[in-house]
Structure 1
Amino acid sequence: MHRCVLVLALSASHAFVATTHKQCRPALRSSILSDDVFPSTATDVFVGNMPYGMSDDYVKDLVYTVRKDDGSPVNPEVLRVTVPRDEETGKDRGLAFVKVLDATQAADLSAALDGFEYRGRVLNSNVKESRKKKWVERPAVDPATLDDGGLFEALDTLPDKFAIQEYGLEKIRNACKKARIKAGGDLEQCTARLLKIQGLKSEVYLDPAFGLIPTRNNRRNARWN
């Protein structure tokens, strides 16, 4: 196997390893870098049942060894390799994560690694789902259309918190939304808010000083305006 001469050359968007071999491989970015520095398309591949004693470089060499079903090399652009280790012993855990440029490369690499026999072990691999949640624009909800079982209208006639809690958390939250006050939290928190507004006019409890108006970063949530 040819060894690379590790000479880092930074370009506008990628780092490359200059090599004496005719094929130039993308260099690994430091594993300490935050995911925010990678392209938005970057995708992680999980590799399990690895032999113990693996280093990042060994995993990298493995990645460039595997081939697709048609025999062609996968040859992904590897952005980072991470071999998790035990914090106390420093020993690896027999698994690794390989971050590649995009989902297509990740799918090809995972398919090539899954079931691949390496040093007497049969590897398993899959594409790791991103934890980043995509922003979805949700239409504004009219609180008046929410089902609270009539709780908001009957609130002033209910004797105690137990009578309120008989409606259940979902209807209690909807009653809070109808009152245009905070609706987050558990059963006790939501019930306490409804008890606090019993017998009060809306202009009283909707005063910001009362502390029950939904806020986001100290600003009133526009959805409840």
Structure 2
Amino acid sequence: GGIGKTTLARHVYHNSKVKAKFDIMIWIYVSANFDEVKITQAILEQIPDCEYKNTKNLTVLQRGIKKYLTKRFLLVLDDIWEESEGRWGKLLAPLRCTEVKGNVILVTTRKLSVANVTSKTEAHINLSGMNEEIFLRFFKQCIFGDENCGCHNKLMKIAKQTAAKLKGNPLAAKSVGTLLRRNIDEINWRKILDSDEWKFENGMDSIVPALMLSYNHLPYHLQLLFSYCALFPE
């Protein structure tokens, strides 16, 4: 996560040339809680002049899709985790029945397996990390802001080593950059560079250790607040 998938999708969604091609624009944030009924309800809620029965019956809701989604649409499903081809097919069934041509469904996901299920006929776009040189400039900006960092030669060596661990991930750069900015001190920076959290990197997801570092450096009362918030559904 944090590589910029949602940001890129939002740029596409709000682009004036894109908007001109569609009569209906729908954005649904899905996340790990894939629920065909809730997603279908959310789609209906964003269709202009749509009057549908407030029900949890998927068949009834899908009839509403067929009835009201009669113009060309762009549907963005953001942050999909569901890998089941059957559940994906069930969700899309009424969307495939529309007689209007030129509809687009744009999916963002961090999982290649999901991309393969959701885009069997269309090529998917794999976002990689930022260019190394550009990323380092961005990381410096996250740490120092507009301040000239030329007087921090020793610290910049540590910053470069830390940046390499972030693998071009902009959200990781913001997270760790903010952490370094709080205490511009060589001992503190080396402690972060040598932290055990870097061992928890999950494949290509470089955001995990960065978020763990941020969490572990929070005051204890804020850590408790995070734990409390985890009790509530997204």
Structure 1 or 2, whichever has the larger Rg, is 1
TM-score by length of 1: 0.29
Larger helix percent:
2
TM-score (norm 2): 0.28
- The structure, 1 or 2, with the larger RCO (C-alpha pairs under 8 Å, 6+ apart) is 2
